[in-house]
Structure 1
């Protein structure tokens, strides 16, 4: 029997690195716990629409929304579509004026005189103001949007009229500028304003300053830029940075449609870096086409999970456009607002201007110790799969020095971003593999020394699962500590090796298994080594049914990888979605299906396979499947936007439920074997 020895010095270095990792993770947890305030928001326009549809005063609807828990209202640039509707200004196509003149329906003598003098052009738009403040803002904003050379003023009697060379249909939809009357109305109703300005074509420094000057005196909770560019892109971004810093404003970034990183806006990275990542907030809104399909209770639960799992701190709620049964449209939406507010408070959140993450960049010295621990783990693994290296302790230390220097020096120099990613990738793959290998070595030594009945075997399997999970969690601590900083918590940076972590641990464990066990002749404690066994596999004659089984395994592997990672490449069935929803409501954090339904039950079945001396090939397959659960526990921590405590509890829930399912599976197999055995006895008798 090949006996692999564990280098205690390397294990000690791993423990030192673990202490450093835990220090970083506890500090991260503190940063996350201090960011527990959510801005519960809706659109100002939506409330006005709701008031119109219900025939209620806007003030009454806003008061009800305030009472239901809404804290901020989003105000967008005004458009002439809105101004034409609210009567504060009117935009008229020149072609329409000319048509009215020639048809005789233009009765105003002053307008008729302008037409007669040739001052009305069919390719121009004519703007008339009906509100003094709005008119003054239009005289500032329209020339900025179109260019001063395309705008001029006319006199119609004592009134000013603005003429703009523009395509009418496009013009009425065009963003004009932030309306101070709407922002004041929002503040007067007791809400904060989420300012949603859009960028200008060929934006200048003066354009940027004009927008922020418009915001002065308003109670602004956050600025969330509208459109595909932030204000100031691409040549005036520094002005935007300076104006936001001068006013101490936070910027909200909209989560991407795949719930990963952000909706792409030109210049957003530069603004975020310029004002500081501690001034950035993640915003989420349920998609327009999805919300009508959701019951209020489902949408409310979505908000609770979203804020907890993805660090969303601006919840932008859209109104429902159809009432719930036995409720008015007003009652439906106020219930939606209130239920969302109440569930967030029940989860320990406060509501108000969105909280932000404090600037979090752990000590480079702690991070260097983490790198040393990862280097030690890499050498330890190599020593456990290469017999010649296992006995050459000096070579192990030489390798460690090389690996450690390559990993630690860039970190100590203040760089090392790529090294950190490599360390996280190594942690996610090495530690689950080492945890499983440790159990393989342990049971090889115990098998001939003790015998286990079913009860003891079950208890031993559960204890072994807990121990293996604990060892895998060392890798989780290392992974978290390798990446943790504000940029990763906000998802400006993401770990891109997730799908690899579902495959590589299986390969690492497979190599170690083949160095310890012979999968062909049943000699559990002897082996010809990895290469010889792989050669045997390649030389095996293949039957059609074997090819079919291999094809099914391949399909299962593709499904397994495609459904994993930041983005899923395959849809999830309705039944599984319901099961997930049940777990989300029943537990603090929903365990991963691959852990509780696949990996951990397979671990207990592998224990049974070993002690009951099932064919080694079956034992091998179960060990690989069990490794899936261990790898998934660690990979969970690669989703850095999810609070570290939630990731920890997710893994605990998976182990507990997975152990229960595995125990039931063992009992069923035991029962089946007992029934078969008794049937054979009766037959032989």
Structure 2
């Protein structure tokens, strides 16, 4: 039997890396704990619309939503269409005026005797709203295309030389009257401006000039595909936001990975020294399918697990049974607030992360530990002399550490995190395989003995695999990753690679075909050759087909893709676990991997076929890989990732015991049936 030596120097380096990782994760935990304030936002227009459609005075409705939990109103840029519908000014196309003239109306007097341009748009009004509209039309079209045709003490007339239908829908700046109204009702305000085409400094200044006199403006959530000032004036935008103490609101992508595409968003966040908060909004086509309590529960889970600090709540357009539309929306807001407060959140202006970056020397120790883990794995597959191990270690560590010590190294850290996520679960399972080989289980094996050995061995393996999680959480634990401006790369590889590597390890230690003594790496190729030369039967193809489907589901369900749908019964199970546990464990762990670990122990005790034992070991590795990959979701607090893994272990032990007991009971039943005499 081939023996493998665990180099103590490499083990010490891994432990030192773990100590450094624990320090970084503790610091990160403090940063995450300090950011627990959630801003509850609704669109100003939504509440106004509810007031108009339901016939409730606006001031009454505003007070009710404030009492229910809304802290902030989002105010969008206005348009000529909105202003005309609200009666704040009049906007008519030249064609409409020509029609009126032909009908006998005195249109000439309206235009001060000027001829009508049927291809132009005419804007009539006076006062602050008209003046703001006029100034923004000039900024977007130029003074030569916005002409004052007539002016009296009570009315002014503008001729706008542009396509009337399109101009009516253009964004024309933040409406001061709405900003003041929202603030006047006692709410904070989030402004939602758009960028200008060929934006100029005076355009940026105009936006912030309108915000300057408005109290309680807490942040900006940009609309459109660009942030204000992109591409050349981001520094000016950042400067003005800093001066007014505004938080940058970054809207999470519907697939929950990254943000809705807005050019300049991430550079602006950097210029703001990460004074930014993540925003979530339930998609318009999805919210109507959710009951109020289901939607409220989603908000609580979202804020807990994804560092969302601005909840942009859309209104419900249909009432719940036995309620009015307004009662439904008030109950919705109140349920979200109550759920968040119950989980320890406070309600108010959005919290932001401190601009945390771990010390370079701590990260260097973690990277060296990850490198040592990689070298150790190689020695456990193909042993080679210690001096060559140290040379390899020194070379790889130097390549990875030098960029870190120079103040950069983001790619280095991502590479080391990927290596840690792949290698640590495999090393944990490799240690378990070698432990089984050194001390093979002995018969007779009682059910209690199998369960006890399985629970103890699984717990040790999980604790070893957690090293990889702590490595990942530390290496990618700065504020950029917490905000998801940078992400962990290699999610699919993280799920697949450990299964391949544990297969290599297994074939260097056990003979799948039975009988022969395995002597290391060269016997791996012998077994692969035998496997490739096996005759293919229809049932073999069916087995491989089933395995391919399982692999497709396994990989397709990883990450944040919409490739493989989640069954309704699984969604209900997830919701139940979210309600009864601090952090919902992953199904891959407690329903697949951990029970497979128990069955792998049982397979050794009862000398089941080696191929079956191999399949169970691979399935058990799935859980260890999933456990570590949990920490790769950097937007999730590191403490929650840890508790999720431990919850998975606890529930997995229960499922493992049930799996072993079920097999044991089935064996007893079959044995009893076999001993029954045949009826004559």
State how 1:50-61 maps to structure 2 within 5 Å.
Answer: 50-61=50-61
Contact 1:110–1:157 (Cα < 8 Å) also in 2: no
Q: Determine if the alignment matches structure 1 residue 355 to structure 2 residue 362.
A: no
Question: 1:550 offset after TM fit, Å?
Answer: 1.1
Q: Determine if the alignment matches structure 1 residue 656 to structure 2 residue 650.
A: yes
Structure 2 residue aligned with 1:66: 66
Structure 2 residue aligned with 1:147: 142
SS in 1 for 2:308: coil
Cα root mean square deviation, aligned? 1.7
Structure 2 residue aligned with 1:599: 593
The CA deviation string for residues 442-488 of structure 1, in whole angstroms up to 9 with x for no partner, is: 11121166753221111110111111000000010011111111111
Structure 1 residue aligned with 2:421: 428
Summarize the Cα distance change of 1:222–1:677 in structure 2 as closer, same or farther, 3 Å threshold: same
Question: 1:678 offset after TM fit, Å?
Answer: 2.8
Cα distance in structure 2, aligned partners of 1:645 and 1:90: 57
Structure 1 residue aligned with 2:492: 499
Cα distance in structure 2, aligned partners of 1:58 and 1:577: 39
Structure 2 residue aligned with 1:265: 262
Structure 2 residue aligned with 1:171: 167
Contact 1:420–1:482 (Cα < 8 Å) also in 2: yes
Question: 1:101 offset after TM fit, Å?
Answer: 0.2
Q: Determine if the alignment matches structure 1 residue 416 to structure 2 residue 427.
A: no
Structure 2 residue aligned with 1:221: 218
Structure 1 residue aligned with 2:200: 204
Q: Determine if the alignment matches structure 1 residue 127 to structure 2 residue 154.
A: no
Contact 1:444–1:525 (Cα < 8 Å) also in 2: no
Summarize the Cα distance change of 1:6–1:450 in structure 2 as closer, same or farther, 3 Å threshold: farther
Cα distance in structure 1, aligned partners of 2:225 and 2:648: 41
State how 1:572-591 maps to structure 2 within 5 Å.
Answer: 572-591=566-585
SS in 2 for 1:440: helix
SS in 2 for 1:313: strand
Structure 1 residue aligned with 2:30: 30
Q: Which 4+ residue blocks in structure 1 deviate beyond 6 angstroms?
A: 524-528
If the length of structure 2 is used for normalisation, what is the TM-score?
0.97
Contact 2:287–2:295 (Cα < 8 Å) also in 1: yes
Question: 1:525 offset after TM fit, Å?
Answer: 7.0
Summarize the Cα distance change of 1:77–1:295 in structure 2 as closer, same or farther, 3 Å threshold: same
Cα distance in structure 1, aligned partners of 2:235 and 2:34: 30
Contact 2:443–2:605 (Cα < 8 Å) also in 1: no
Structure 2 residue aligned with 1:453: 446
Contact 2:90–2:124 (Cα < 8 Å) also in 1: yes
The count of residues paired between Structure 1 and Structure 2 equals: 676
Structure 2 residue aligned with 1:188: 184
* Alignment partner of 1:402 out of 395, 398, 415: 395
Cα distance in structure 2, aligned partners of 1:191 and 1:506: 53
Which deviates the most, 445-454 or 554-563?
Answer: 445-454
Contact 1:7–1:380 (Cα < 8 Å) also in 2: yes
SS in 1 for 2:124: strand
Summarize the Cα distance change of 1:112–1:370 in structure 2 as closer, same or farther, 3 Å threshold: closer
Cα distance in structure 2, aligned partners of 1:204 and 1:404: 48
Structure 2 residue aligned with 1:285: 281
The CA deviation string for residues 34-84 of structure 1, in whole angstroms up to 9 with x for no partner, is: 000011010000010011011122111111111111100000111122111
Summarize the Cα distance change of 1:684–1:438 in structure 2 as closer, same or farther, 3 Å threshold: farther
Contact 1:524–1:616 (Cα < 8 Å) also in 2: no
State how 1:227-626 maps to structure 2 within 5 Å.
Answer: 227-277=224-274, 279-387=275-383, 389=384, 392-447=385-440, 452-522=445-515, 529-626=523-620
Summarize the Cα distance change of 1:320–1:576 in structure 2 as closer, same or farther, 3 Å threshold: same
Cα distance in structure 2, aligned partners of 1:439 and 1:358: 41
Question: 1:646 offset after TM fit, Å?
Answer: 1.0
Contact 2:111–2:149 (Cα < 8 Å) also in 1: no
Question: 1:146 offset after TM fit, Å?
Answer: 2.0
SS in 2 for 1:232: coil
Cα distance in structure 2, aligned partners of 1:611 and 1:301: 45
Runs (5+) with no aligned partner, structure 1: none
If the length of structure 1 is used for normalisation, what is the TM-score?
0.96
SS in 2 for 1:601: helix
Summarize the Cα distance change of 1:526–1:456 in structure 2 as closer, same or farther, 3 Å threshold: farther
Structure 1 residue aligned with 2:20: 20
Cα distance in structure 2, aligned partners of 1:243 and 1:379: 51
Contact 1:517–1:526 (Cα < 8 Å) also in 2: no
The CA deviation string for residues 487-538 of structure 1, in whole angstroms up to 9 with x for no partner, is: 1111111112011011111111111111111110245877762111111111
Structure 2 residue aligned with 1:162: 158
SS in 2 for 1:652: helix
Which deviates the most, 25-34 or 569-578?
Answer: 569-578
SS in 1 for 2:396: helix
* Alignment partner of 1:680 out of 674, 677, 680: 674
Cα distance in structure 1, aligned partners of 2:340 and 2:403: 42
Structure 2 residue aligned with 1:110: 109
Structure 2 residue aligned with 1:7: 7
Question: 1:108 offset after TM fit, Å?
Answer: 5.6
The CA deviation string for residues 197-238 of structure 1, in whole angstroms up to 9 with x for no partner, is: 111121111100011011002121111111111111223222
SS in 1 for 2:294: helix
